[in-house]
Each structure stands twice: as C-alpha cells, then as structure tokens.
Structure 1
Amino acid sequence: MTPFTVPVEGLTTDVHLPDGDGPFPAVLIRTPYDRRRHRAELRGWARRGFAALVQDVRGRHASPGQWHPYDNETADGAATARWIRRQPWSNGQLVAAGASYAAHCALTLALDAPTDARPDAVIAAVPALGPAETAREPSGVERLLARAGWWAAHGDRPDSDEDALDKALAADPGLLAHLPLTGLPERLGRSLPSWPGLWRHRAHGRLLSQAEQAGMPLLAVGGHHDHFAEDTVALWRRWGGPSARLLLGPWGHGLVAEPGADADPAHRVRLGELYTGWATRALTGELTPGHGGAVGLGGSTLWTTADTEGQPRTHPLRLLHGASFTADPERPVSSADLTVPTDGPPDRCLLVTPPLPRPLDLVGRVEVGLRAAADTPSADWALRLLALTPEGVAQRLAVGIVRREEPPGGQAEFTVGLGRLARRLPAGTRLRLEIAGHHFPAHARNPHTGGDPVTATRMVTSRREVDAGSVALRLPVLGSRPTPTDPVQEILR
C-alpha cells in the first residue's frame, strides 16, 4: 500500500501499512530528528506485517507548536497511541520504538501514560532517560560537549543543524572555554532560551524507578562506547515487565553504524530484522520470561550472555609521575587528546601496570579507589583508563569523574566508577591510569571556588596530592574464557 501522511492530534505522522486487509499490529516511532529519515525503516516493518508509523514531535520539522525538549512527550504519545488503536487497520497491539531521544518518547509512553494508551512492547536503543541523565554524570558533573552539541543542533528550533557546534568551534576554537557557560547561545549567535534551564535538572532515576513497575516486554540496545551505556544496562536490569532483553555491542551512539576500534565483523547485527523478530515474539507471548540477552566482547569475535560478569580483581600500579600536580582550569587536561605532556609541571597523576602476562577478558564495572587531597573547597577528580597495546598504540578504555567538596588540604578516601567494560585485552598490554582535575571539553571545568561551573565567571588553580600507594584499580576479570553465544538467539529466546 502507498504510504500516506496524516495529522494525528495535530502532529505530522507518516503511515506505512502492509499489503493485505489487516488488521495489523502497529509500531510507533516519535522523533525530533525528522520523520523522513525513517522511511526505509517503515518499509521494513510493513514488509513484516506491521503498520508502521513515525511522527515528528511537537514543534519539530513538519509538526506545529513549540519545541520544549522532554515536556510534551507523554501526553502527545498517549493521544497518538489511542488514535492508532481506533483505526480500522489496527488490531490494537502496539510497539513503541526509538533511539536516543526517540527512545525517551517510547519509554515515557510505556511508563507515564494512562494504562489504555501504553504500548504492548518497547524497543529502547541508546536511551536518553531524561534531561538530568543526559546533562550530568551520576556524580553531578556536567557533560558539556555532548549537551552543547545537541542543543546547538536541535535546541529551540523547528529543524536541525547537525554541524552547528563544529562550525562554531572552527570559527572560535575556544568557544566552550568562555565564561559563563550560560552565555553559550550568544557566542553561537542564536537564541537558546532552554539552555540555562537544562542545568537546573539534577534528579536522576525517575524513569528507572518507574521501570520496576513496567508491564510489558523490553528490548534495550546499546553500545559500550555510547555515553548512555550505563543507563541502557540499568534500564534492562530494573525492568519489571514479563521479559527484558539486552543487546550491547562494541559500538558508539550510532550502534552498528558506529563501530568502535575494538569491534569485529562478528559484531555486525541486522538490527532491523532483529527488532521485527523480537516484536513479533513479544506480541504473541513467545518470549521466555525473565532477563536475558547478549554482550559483544570488544577485541575478540565473541558474544556472551548478558548476565556474564567478571569478579573484581585489583591490579598493581606503578607511579610514573604526578603524585603532586596542579589542576589549572586555563590549561585543563583534554578529553580528546590521549598524549601526556613531557614538559612543564605535571597536570595529572600517571600510573601504569606491568604488561599483561596473558590475555585478559573484562566484563563489568571498573572502579578505582584512592586517597587524595585538594587545596580548594571543590574539586573534580577525572580518571581515565587507557590500554597501551604491545605495538605502542594508546586506546581509551574507560572514563569516570566525580565532584568532591571537602575542607581544603584534608585527605579523603573515595571511589570513582569508570563505567562498564566488555573487552578482551591481548597479552603484553599495559594499562595506564590518569588522575586529573579536568576532562575538558567533554565535561565542564570545575572553577575550584565552590561556585557553579555553569554560571561561574572566575576560576582558580587547584593543587592536588595523591597517595599513590592507595590507588587500587579494580577490574571485572572473567576467571575463564566466556562461553560463546548467538546474539540473535539470545534476544529471541
């Protein structure tokens, strides 16, 4: 059947129906990223017997109204779901699907909407759980570069300019270093009234808490190199529906279209076929109850089951330099550059492990315990773990950052989580751990005055002392080689 476009509750929606008389189950994608990008995806769903719909959210592209990120999605999604179920071609069954912000739309429909509007199954890929989760680390540190890029591209405008921040940085490489950060819209040369309000969102976990009462199956999909990887895993773990599946590969935010350096051809997955196959089984009640799925082990050809988890093991570290260093906001450690300066005073504490005597399989959370002090009332501690291959190539493995507010000069003992790893490291690999005061521009610079990094107009240096002997790198090591599995079979089980 020829696709058609209709206003659904005033919002522009493309509909693609399968051949035949129906009625059909439906899949709904609500997106701020232009519904026209999903036309091939709609055809794929329709070929497999689904009525496929994609909608521009309120105020974006062809849909009228004002665009207020995260504000209208529950009500608009519920109205659309009810409209779908009233159509003669609908059999009443509905799958809510989406990636990134579109996954947020699917999740709010599943968890916030009235019961009669909720979908029967949810596909959430690289999910943006909410404004607080996207803008800040769990420790409260601001994710500056990612949010500046998103707001420059999509914020407070009906269309998108994906390269807006890159173009602005080309014209002014110091763009993100200007103070205060609330002045970014002026330097971009456009109105962004929602930008300051973004940083007032601090409460994490609302959707995760509601996920425990979910009443439908979930397929959560993510990448190890995606900044929402931990949120994806947490959503899967806490989902209370009859079944939950996790697919996690060595990919970035673009999933299979954005493989990491550690990805192998064996980690390629036909996501379209997998989504439709899973949705069919979810709607017919054929999925095995409980949590399951598959995780791809980067640096290998392996997939292993989603419940595979290594045991924490502490690895010895040797101090190279920087037990005392200076965190200078005017010369912050770069989040983009893996090289370490060899001249001038240290700007980070640097430690390394001996070469690995044998290959190491890591699956699970990485943590570092340490004892350290800062001479300022507020201090960020940014830790970066790299693999130094036997060939001498530095590869980023994990990053963690926390904000500490303590009496100046007093030593404190604390732990920094560096996220999750699913990686095989070959024999001869050395691990390099960096402890710094900044990770810029990925994260906003702490001004060290106790002031808010978003509104600060003054910054001071911070002298740091690390008790190198206290630093404990805890890695999630598998005691034996993981048993290989087929990711498609695990998802469809």
Structure 2
Amino acid sequence: MTSLHATPAGLATDAHLPEGSGPFPAVLIRTPYDRVRHLAEARGWARRGFAAVVQDVRGRFASPGEWHPYENEAADGAVTARWIRRQPWSDGRYVAVGASYAAHCALVLALEAPGEAAVRPDAVIAAVPALGAAETAREPSGVERLLARAGWWAAHGDRHDSDEGALEQALAADPGLLTHLPLTGLPKRLGRILPSWAGLWRQRERGRLVSRAADADVPLLVVGGHHDHFTEDTLALWRAWGGPSARLLLGPWGHGLLTMPGSDAGPAHRMVLGELYARWAHRALAGDLTPGRHGAQALGDADLWLPAGTEGEPRTQRVRLLHGSRFTADPDRPVRSDDLTVPTGGVPDRCLLVTPPLLRPLDAVGPVRIRLRATSDTPSADWAARLVALTPEGIAEQLAVGVLRREEPAASELTLGLGRLTRRLRAGTRLRLEIAGHHFPAHARNPHTGDDPITADRLLASRREVDPTSVTLTLHVLPFRPTSTDPAKEILR
C-alpha cells in the first residue's frame, strides 16, 4: 500500500493506494474529526482495491481556513473530486463515504456540488447522516436538542482541533451549566469563545437535502441505528432517494453504530461493516445492484433481521391513569431526560399512565403515536411524551420519546409522534407512558413566557391538565411471527 499527501483545495489530504499499478476506483472521506483517525479505515479500503482519499475539512486539524459547519462542504468537496479524477492512479470513479458530519459531506457532493456533473460521486455511503444544521439542532416540531448540540459545540465548535470530553468535564465541575439563562450565554459559562453557537439556533431550514434526494442519480447505502438521534432523517433519506438503487441498514445501535450497541442487540446484530461497505461499493460501481429500495432492519431483543420497510398493523394499547391528570410543568424543576425514576410525593410533575402486562410477546415494528386532549395555562407549552418498558424483573428501559411545541393555551387535541420502534416486547412487560412539559437536558426548557427558549432569561411554571380518558397509545404490531432475513443479501442484492 502506498500513501500520498496532497492539498487539493488547499486542504490536508492523504491518499492510500492499493498494491499494483492501477488505475483504481476511489473512496473520498471528508471529515472534521481528524483524517489521521481514519488510517485503519483507509487501509481497509486499500486492501479491498480502492484508493482511499481522506481529507480534513476547511478549518479543522491540518487544514487551514475558518471552520464554518455545513457551509463549505459542497464547494470544497467538488474541488477535491476533480483532483481525484485527474490523478494517474484514478480510473475516474469514486464513492463518497462518511458517518455523521462526514455523511453530510458525502451527500452534498451527490446533491448540491456546484459545477459540472463530473464532480458528483458514482455512489454514496452515508452512515448516521447529520443532514444539516437545522436537522441536528431541532426536532421537526422546532424543539431544541440542547444536550447533543451543546456537547458537539463544546467538543468541536469554533476550533481547529477537538476535545471530545469537554462538556462532560464541564458538567462535572458545574452541574448546573445547562440551566444557564439565556442559553446564548452558555459559551461564556463554559469558558469557551463560540461565536457560531448563537447562529446555530437561527437555522430553521429543515429538509433541504431530503427534498433534493428525489433528483439523485447514483446508488445510495444509508446506515443508521434505532437508538441514534438521526434515525428519522436516515429513513427519510432512504425513502426519498431517486437514484437507481437505495439500500438501508438499520441496526439496534446508537450514533456510534457497532461501537454503541443497545441493550436489545444480539449476536446476529454484530456485523463487519467495512467488508459490507466494500462489497456494496464494488457492486454499485459495476451497476450490479437490483433497482429499487431494499435493505434490512434489526428486530431488537429478538436477534433477527427484517426486510427494510416491514411495518406492523396499528394497534391501540389500553392505558390507565396512575396519577397526575393535573400537574405542574416547572422549568426550575423539569422532568429529566437522563432519569427514569418517577417521584411519588409532592405536586405531580407529569401525567403517568400504564398498560396492563402483555399477555404474549409483541413485535412492535413501526411508528409510535399518542393522542390526547390537554390544556396549559401559559402562552407557549411543550408536550413531552416518553414510553418506558417495565420488564417483569422490574427494570425500566426507555423505548421512545416525542416532543411537541404548541403556542395556544386553550384546550386542544394533541398528536405526538414518538419515532419508531423495531422491538420485541416480552410477555409480562408493562408500558409506562409519561406526559410532561419538559425533557431536559436532552431538550431545552420551554420558559412558558412565549419567548424563544434560547434567548429567554426568565421562567414560568405551567399548569397542565390531561383528560386521561382521551389518551390513546398506538403501536404498529406484526400480526405474524417473523423469520430472519440475511442483511448482507438484502444490501447486496
């Protein structure tokens, strides 16, 4: 294997070439997380016959310039793509590859790169795709994803290098850090200069890349995890992709994929993703993939795989009220996203409902939704719903969460989507449904004043009332006992 160092677009770039005289197809990985960390990955691609090109994006690590997340990737990627195709070791074909922010870099080359068609990749592999600033910062309802964005900005924002543990260390020293008001002042309390932090929250244009995906003209392999915060974006991209083929692999994993298995992951869910990526890339470049959308999704706690797109039939689960049909959503004492214990005394801070124990195993595959009638007495209110599994052994495990923002205090009908489940629930399991006004620190606290939660500097308590007879919990349940498919065959078909 040969390693070359270059600076297309003035950016630090390494090219790792396979043995032999070539020419070779290439893979391009553009990353803000230090190209040196991709050395093993690049060598793996080279062993499988690809010239692996790894580049630090503008303003990060060894690349000069100013770091402006999501702003320069299409233009800088286009320059690099042209450079690859001019090299004597290139056969003219390349695959854009990336995970998280690097997946964004890969996707904009296929969907937004300026100039001639020659800059576009011949195929795209996008893992846990961070589609854009607005998608990463907010839920579709507009509610702010505070903890994830604060962690990312503390680690990577407005600096050339990274400090992965910056927020964790800051919270250990200052546990009240994320309660700071206004949230625009958070960098000062953190002890960092982060001029781009306030601008992040002005980004509200969601769905740009997904809307352009319909015009894609190359194959896509998109990989995600059921426990990743970008699961819905991953699915939306796969469904919208207009290229000749689209493949989806969705496992019981978090944002780190196989390095972050969920508690529902089994032996069948352990895969060698690098080998699968390379085999798919070879078939994509050769035009050997069956047209259309295919793939596989893991069924958690069942140790098997289902074809992508499998979905159960809607089934309403009976719930009964435990307590809290009237509760107070107090932003000074918010319901916490990192604590599944439920207070038993004092003024209720949430409405708590529960299902009877399941009489038999239930395979929940598809979206989770609740409907209810509820009121608040403040000009703005967030409604957070959390679904928790209570196992026969007494263990509580979070299954799904949804957050909705409403701006009218009058009585209203509410529908909350809680994302998707692909999970086998054991007989004897009860489902606990919590309806609250906050889900902090995962999401910013609604101050209940009508002010922007990012710039607000005062908080009000909000009195809530839920009509427990109106609450319906709908899961999508498979009407049959499924058999397992082979995820590799589904991806490579």
Q: State the alpha-carbon separation in 1 of the partners of residues 175 and 19 from structure 2.
A: 53
Alignment of 1:111-190 (within 5 A): 111-113=111-113, 114=115, 115-190=117-192
Q: Verify the 8 A CA contact 2:331 2:461 in the aligned structure 1.
A: yes
- What is the match of residue 484 of structure 1? 484
Q: State the alpha-carbon separation in 2 of the partners of residues 400 and 54 from structure 1.
A: 37
Q: State the alpha-carbon separation in 2 of the partners of residues 342 and 362 from structure 1.
A: 30
- Across the aligned residues of Structure 1 and Structure 2, the Cα RMSD in angstroms comes to 0.6
Q: CA deviation at 1:3?
A: 1.3
- Write out per-residue CA displacement over residues 87-110 of structure 1, whole angstroms, 9 at most, x where no aligned residue: 011011010000000000000111
Among candidates 335, 341, 351, match of residue 333 of structure 1: 335
- What is the match of residue 446 of structure 2? 446
Q: CA deviation at 1:2?
A: 2.7
- Write out per-residue CA displacement over residues 162-194 of structure 1, whole angstroms, 9 at most, x where no aligned residue: 000011111110000010000011011111000
Code of the residue aligned with 1:440 in structure 2: it is F
Q: State the alpha-carbon separation in 1 of the partners of residues 378 and 309 from structure 2.
A: 42
Q: State the alpha-carbon separation in 2 of the partners of residues 469 and 341 from structure 1.
A: 23
Q: Verify the 8 A CA contact 2:2 2:19 in the aligned structure 1.
A: no
Q: State the alpha-carbon separation in 2 of the partners of residues 72 and 455 from structure 1.
A: 28
- What is the match of residue 266 of structure 1? 268
SS in 2 for 1:307: coil
Q: Verify the 8 A CA contact 2:98 2:105 in the aligned structure 1.
A: yes
Code of the residue aligned with 1:288 in structure 2: it is T
Code of the residue aligned with 1:302 in structure 2: it is L
Code of the residue aligned with 2:456 in structure 1: it is A
SS in 2 for 1:263: coil
- What is the match of residue 94 of structure 1? 94
Among candidates 316, 323, 347, match of residue 318 of structure 2: 316
Code of the residue aligned with 1:462 in structure 2: it is S
SS in 1 for 2:170: helix
Alignment of 1:230-269 (within 5 A): 230-269=232-271
Identity of aligned pairs, percent? 75
- What is the match of residue 35 of structure 1? 35
- What is the match of residue 222 of structure 2? 220
SS in 1 for 2:91: strand
What 5-or-longer segments of structure 2 have no aligned partner? none
SS in 2 for 1:152: helix
Q: State the alpha-carbon separation in 2 of the partners of residues 449 and 280 from structure 1.
A: 56
Q: CA deviation at 1:50?
A: 0.4
What 5-or-longer segments of structure 1 have no aligned partner? none
- Write out per-residue CA displacement over residues 315-350 of structure 1, whole angstroms, 9 at most, x where no aligned residue: 000100000000000000000000001111100000
Q: CA deviation at 1:294?
A: 0.2
Q: State the alpha-carbon separation in 2 of the partners of residues 455 and 423 from structure 1.
A: 39
Q: CA deviation at 1:311?
A: 1.3
- What is the match of residue 424 of structure 1? 424
- What is the match of residue 81 of structure 1? 81
Q: State the alpha-carbon separation in 1 of the partners of residues 222 and 435 from structure 2.
A: 32
Q: CA deviation at 1:483?
A: 2.8
Code of the residue aligned with 2:8 in structure 1: it is V
Moved over 2 A (4+): none
Q: TM-score, normalised by structure 2?
A: 0.99
- Write out per-residue CA displacement over residues 428-477 of structure 1, whole angstroms, 9 at most, x where no aligned residue: 00000000000000000000010000000011000000011111100010
Q: CA deviation at 1:4?
A: 2.2
Q: TM-score, normalised by structure 1?
A: 0.99
Q: CA deviation at 1:301?
A: 1.0
- What is the match of residue 349 of structure 2? 347
Q: State the alpha-carbon separation in 1 of the partners of residues 305 and 3 from structure 2.
A: 38
Q: State the alpha-carbon separation in 1 of the partners of residues 453 and 88 from structure 2.
A: 54
SS in 2 for 1:414: strand
SS in 2 for 1:343: coil
Alignment of 1:266-285 (within 5 A): 266-285=268-287
Aligned length: 491
- What is the match of residue 399 of structure 2? 397
SS in 1 for 2:405: strand
SS in 1 for 2:475: strand
Q: State the alpha-carbon separation in 2 of the partners of residues 91 and 2 from structure 1.
A: 17
